[in-house]
Structure 1
Amino acid sequence: MPFPGDDHTGARIAHHRKRAGLTQRGLAQKIPYSYSLLTQVESGHKPASPDLVATVAQALCIDVTALTGQPYVTELQQDRLAELIRPIREALDLYDLGADPQISPRPAPELVAAAQRLCQQVRATKLHDAARDLPGTMAEITTAAHRTPSSELWAALSSTYRTAHDVAVKLGYYDLSTVALDRMDWAASRASDPLLSAVRQYMRALVYFREGEYTIGQRLISSGQGLLEQSPQTRERHAVTGQLHLGASIIAARARDQNAVTTHLAEARSYADRVGEATDVHWLSFGPTNVAVHAVSANVEMRQYGEALRHAADVRIPKDWALSRAAHFHIDQARAQMEAGRSEAALKSVVTARRLAPQQTRYHSGARETIRGLVHLSRRTPDTLDHLAAWVGL
């Protein structure tokens, strides 16, 4: 049976396809997916995978969010998160106005610690707390950096911009995330930190990855690697280099370049063997665990679901690992399990993701499409699945 109602990604694909004057066969000829799959997705008989959505968005010259329906405003309003977005948007616009005479900022060490706490909140998926605290902290550090410029303060300000990007992405405000990355570059250049600038290029690459622009994403990764040449050979540089290779592996997977995926994962693994779990470097999750998790994600992106599950079986998540990354792994695993016909295991993985990171999972388009797929596959919807479907607004 199809998904209930017409407010799903497949229906949006059909709407925008028709607006572009294309038949289903016409669109199928523009994308690396079959006409049969496209018809099933549009009718709601199959979930729309993130790679299909990105490819269709690129073919129709529209944003991915037009097809996914993000941001999910109804749920955001229920969680009282929507009201926190405007203050973040306004705080991002203060960057070039100089010091605010009405603000008396705390000492620099306290401001740096405040910026770090925001990163911790996002990694712990406390999105409401991070979104609530972010605007005031951002405005305070902006004033401090303009009054007494220092690399330390500019780096802290760049960190708050990164937090704004992370919050915006997780809640589906991709336009805002792009603004935040522009501000991050502005502050990183003043901090004179090539590692921070390279991390920013990595994050930009992921923006284009989501939109299906893989060539641009690969160029941004290369740009980030070039910036690293300005930095000495340290553990921190090795961690950022390894993370860039992980980003490149996922972009290559979407581009169906198996050789590049293998090469980038091997390079990342060699750096991980040198630095260990480097979660203390620019709030990355780089290390052996993240390499293993990316091997799963890469195979999911290449639709090699059996291979993805083989790699997933070997993943051991450290107890102190970022909940945001752990939940993302379980969402990827759920997709592979669903596609492999292991619906019960997929449901357990989604439930685990929700337990670890409820807000992130609720607004994750991949999690929502997996739940939709499980609803369709289930002849009799289990109570847990029925509850999940209602929770994400299906």
Structure 2
Amino acid sequence: MPECTDTHIGARIAEQRNIAHLTQRGLADKAHISYSLLSKVESGHKPASPALVAACARALGIESSILVGQPFTAEQREDRFDAPIAAIRASLENWDVPLDPVAPPRALHEIAADVKALGELRRSAEYLKTADKAPALIDELVEATHRHEGRGRERAHRLLAYTYRCVHDVVYGLGHIDLGSAVLARMSYSAERSGDPYMVVLTAYLRAQSCFNTGRHEVGFRLMERSLADVEDDVRRGDRSALCVQGNLRLRATMLAARLSPASKSQEDSARAQWQEAWETAERLGGDTQNYVMSFGPSNTRIHEVALEVELGHYGRAVKAAEKMHLPDEFCELYPDRVSHHYIDVSRAQLWTGDRQGAFTSLLRARSAAPQKTRYHPQARETVLALRRADRSSNETLANYVRWLGV
């Protein structure tokens, strides 16, 4: 059974602040955040936003994952993640040494079918199934990179890089940040040998994601600027893969710009400008486009419009933007991971605006879309804890959700 704990992020911030011998005002000044807000977060009267968590972590000299409590080891043990995660770690030991396997690797087109299926599991945030299947594919593809030459070797590396991409989503989503960094190192090795510049850009895109945990948002933002320059020529020619990549880079730059510290009007303007560029790319594509590297389109851009307002603290605007949105059924079917993340963001905005019932309804939708993503998402847990503290009616449905999360 999962460990039962009422510890919220604010309590962890207070604990780490005391370890660092800082007062609340001292941490607020060092992190460039409101003293009043920090006080309310530490006492549990306000939920902690990712931006506040990142700012506090940076000021305290620790990673954000420490403050949010990741990885949630008891729950992962209950869900039987221990063996697959250990197998992933073992698979990362070899990336450049040819071995003598019992059976030679299959033909690349056969392996490619399994890699495609793995990608579908990733988009559905099926963490356990992805973690179960990936290690054997990694071992087989590493061997394939040694047995093929020329274009065959490049294709093997391209398939291997994408497999690592799927694994990264799992370990990052589960909060194994150091393991995620090791996965990215292996991905970078194969991407550079894949003959596919978009795989190299995808590695930078994921590397920028880790900057959210370390608080080095300025590094992530510069990575996105550099990657955007790398695809500019292909975008100018109207290459659809390049447009999908460009749109995603703009969206990541949007969220990174929103977290650059200290917060300012120019920072907000920069984030909105990045989002507008992404929207123009979505309009140029003409619709949601599924791509072998990064899919993109109007739906995901609208999702990020809501996420941006939440990140900037404009919760009323976020709720209004969400109310105007309609996610196509096809998009929801293809990208349940994105849909789940969207409803977690919406629930945060609804909580801040006082709509507790709406916040809980959004969390139910998030769980319906992608249960494992929701169960291991720190902000879903933080919102649920806030709802439980505010609940005075002994809501059994909420209590069941709390037990399901393991808090």
TM over 0.5: yes
The 8 Å contact of residues 65 and 213 in structure 2, kept in 1 or not, is answered as no
Shift of 1:283: 4.8
Whether contact under 8 Å (1:11, 1:42) holds in the other structure is: yes
Distance 1:26 1:392 in 2: 34
| Aligned counterpart for 1:319 among listed residues 323, 329, 343 | 329
**What is the correspondence of 1:240-255 to structure 2 with a 5 Å cutoff?**
240-255=245-260
Residue by residue over 1:177-234, the C-alpha shift from the partner in whole angstroms, topping out at 9 and shown as x without a partner, is 1111111111011012111111211111121023321111111101211332475731
- Contact 2:6–2:385 (Cα < 8 Å) also in 1: no
Secondary structure (helix, strand or coil) at the match of 1:95 reads coil
* Correspondence 1:272 to 2:275: no
What are the Cα deviations for residues 8-66 of structure 1, in whole angstroms up to 9, with x where unaligned? 32222112111111111211111232222222222333222211111111001101111
Whether the aligned pair in 1 keeps the contact of 2:221 and 2:253 (CA below 8 Å) is yes
Counterpart CA distance in 1 for 2:348 and 2:383 is: 6
Question: Identity of counterpart residues, as a percentage?
Answer: 38
Decide whether the 8 Å contact of 2:208 with 2:224 is kept in 1: yes
C-alpha distance in structure 2 between counterparts of 1:6 and 1:329, whole Å: 25
Q: Tell whether 2:345 aligns with 1:340.
A: no
Partner of 1:328: 341
Q: Which amino acid aligns with 1:88?
A: I
Matched residue, 1:356? 369
**Which residue number in structure 1 is paired with residue 308 of structure 2?**
298
Give matches, 1:62-81, under 5 Å.
62-81=62-81
Q: Distance in 1 between matches of 2:189 and 2:234?
A: 19
Seen in structure 2, the aligned counterparts of structure 1 residues 58 and 100 have a Cα distance that, compared at 3 Å, is farther
- Cα deviations by residue, 1:291-312 (Å, 9 ceiling, x for unpaired): 1010100110000001111211
The C-alpha deviation readout for 1:48-98, integer Å capped at 9, x for no partner, is 221111111100110111111111011111111132101011112211222
Structure 2 CA distance for aligned equivalents of residues 281 and 76 of structure 1: 31
1:288 aligns with 2:298: yes
Alignment partners' CA distance in 2, 1:344 and 1:248: 32
Q: Secondary structure at the match of 2:192?
A: helix
The more displaced of 233-242 and 378-387 is: 378-387
Report the Cα distance in structure 2 between the residues aligned to 1:14 and 1:261, rounded to whole angstroms.
30
CA distance in structure 1 between the aligned counterparts of 2:383 and 2:191, rounded to whole angstroms = 37
Q: Residues 259-304 of structure 1: CA distance to partner in whole angstroms, max 9, x if unpaired?
A: 1122111111111112244542235341000110101001100000
Distance in 2 of aligned mates of 1:238 and 1:251: 20
State the alpha-carbon separation in 2 of the partners of residues 200 and 329 from structure 1. Answer: 23
The equivalent of 2:221 in structure 1 is: 218
2-structure distance, mates of 1:210, 1:276:
34
- Secondary structure of 1:191 counterpart: coil
Structure 1 residue aligned with 2:84:
84
Q: Which amino acid aligns with 2:291?
A: V
Deviations 1:302-341 (A, max 9, x none): 0000111121112222223200000000000000000011
For residues 319 and 296 of structure 1, the distance between their equivalents in structure 2, rounded to whole angstroms, comes to 19
RMSD between superposed Cα atoms in Å: 1.7
Rounded Cα–Cα distance in structure 2 between residues aligned with 1:6 and 1:315: 34
Which runs of 5 or more structure 2 residues have no equivalent in the other structure?
none
Q: Structure 1: where are the runs of 5+ without partners?
A: none
Q: Distance in 1 between matches of 2:158 and 2:389?
A: 47
Secondary structure of the structure 2 residue equivalent to 1:104: coil
Report the number of matched residues: 391
- Distance in 2, Cα, partners of 1:348 & 1:71: 26
More divergent stretch after superposition (182-191 vs 280-289): 280-289
2:400 corresponding residue in structure 1: 387
Contact 2:154–2:195 (CA under 8 A) maintained in structure 1? yes
